[in-house]
Chain A
Amino acid sequence: MTEAKIPHPRHGLDEQLNAPVRLSLLALLAKVENAEFGTVRDALDVSDSVLSKQVTQLETAGYVHAAKGYVGKRPRTWLSATEVGRDALRRHLDALRAVVGGL
C-alpha cells in the first residue's frame, strides 16, 4: 500500500502574492472596506506607477477592485479587496506560515 503524500506547503502559495508590494497592498485592503489610491500609495511608500501596475495585476487576478469617482472636479480612485482576494490572502498567509514553521 502506498502512503498518502502530504503536499509541501509551498504548493499553497499564490504566485500573485509572492511580490511584497502586492502582498502588502492586499493585506492593507483586507482590513478596510475601501481605501483611496493616494492614501494607499503613501502608506505603502511606493510611486503612482508602481502601485498602478500592482493594482492592475491584482485586478486581473480578480483580487482587487478599482472604482473611479470624483470629489468636486478631482478624480479619485477607490481600491477594495474582493472576497476572492481575501480568500487568496488567507490561504497564502497560511502557506507562508507553514513554510516558515517548517524551517
Chain B
Amino acid sequence: MSENTETPAASSSAEELLTAAERGGGVGDDLARDAAVNDGAFAITLALLIASFLLAVEFVFPSRNLLLMFGSVVLYGIGVVAVVLWNQRRRRASRHGWAKRYARGFAITMAFYAIGVALSVAPEPSSIVFWLPYALLTAAPLVIAALWGGRR
C-alpha cells in the first residue's frame, strides 16, 4: 500500500467512496449473473452436441451410409463452430473460476467421449440401454461445470 497522504476528504468523502464501491460491486454482480447464463448455455449446448455425436458414431456410422455419416459430421462441425462463435460474440464477462471449471469439465467430457469411441468398435451389437446413459454421462462433466456456481 502506498504512503497515504491523501485522505478521502481531499478527493471524495468516505460515504461517497463507499457508495461508489457498492455501485461497482452491484454492477459486477449483475455481470456475473449474465455471464453465468451465457457460459452455462454455451457449455450445456456443447455438451449435448458432443453426446449427440457420440450416439451418431455408435448408431449411424455402422450403417455405412455415407450420406448419413457425412451429414452427421457436418452437422456436428457446424454446431460446434456456431456455438463457439455465438459465445465469443456474446461473452462480456466471466464468473469466478469459470475458465478452470470449463477446462476441467471439457477434459473429462472428452475423456468419456474417447472411451465411448473406443468402445464403439467392439463387435457387440449397439444397445440404446447402454449408449443413451453413457452419452448423458459424457455430457455430465460439462453440464456440471455450467451449473456449478462461482464463489465470492
Contact = CB atoms under 8 A, between A and B. Distances in A.
Interface of A: 10-21, 23-36, 39, 43-44, 61, 71-72, 88-89, 91, 93, 96-97, 99-100
Q: Per DSSP, are chain B's interface residues mostly helix, strand or loop, or mixed? A: helix
Interface in B9-54: 10-12, 14-18, 20-25, 27-32, 35
Given A13-B4, A25-B24, A20 B16 contact: yes
B2 interface: yes
Nearest to A74: B89
Given A32-B28, A32-B35, A15 B6 contact: yes
A32 B93 contact: yes
B20 A23 contact: yes
Interface of B: 1-8, 10-12, 14-18, 20-25, 27-32, 35, 88-89, 91-99, 150, 152
B4 A93 contact: no
B31 A31 contact: yes
A96 B11 CA distance: 13
Contacts of A35: 28, 31, 92-94
A103 B108 CA distance: 55
B95 A33 contact: yes
14 contacts: A17-B17, A20-B20, A23-B17, A28-B24, A31-B31, A32-B32, A32-B35, A32-B93, A33-B95, A33-B96, A33-B97, A33-B99, A43-B30, A100-B18
B11 A28 contact: no
Contacts of A33: 93-99, 150
Contact of B24 (A15, A24, A72): A24
A29 B3 CA distance: 24
Contacts of A71: 88-89
Nearest to A69: B88
Contact of B32 (A11, A31, A44, A96): A31
Contacts of B32: 31-32
A28 B4 contact: no
Contacts of A91: 1
B27 A43 contact: yes
A100 B14 CA distance: 6
A72 B91 CA distance: 13
A26 B25 CA distance: 8
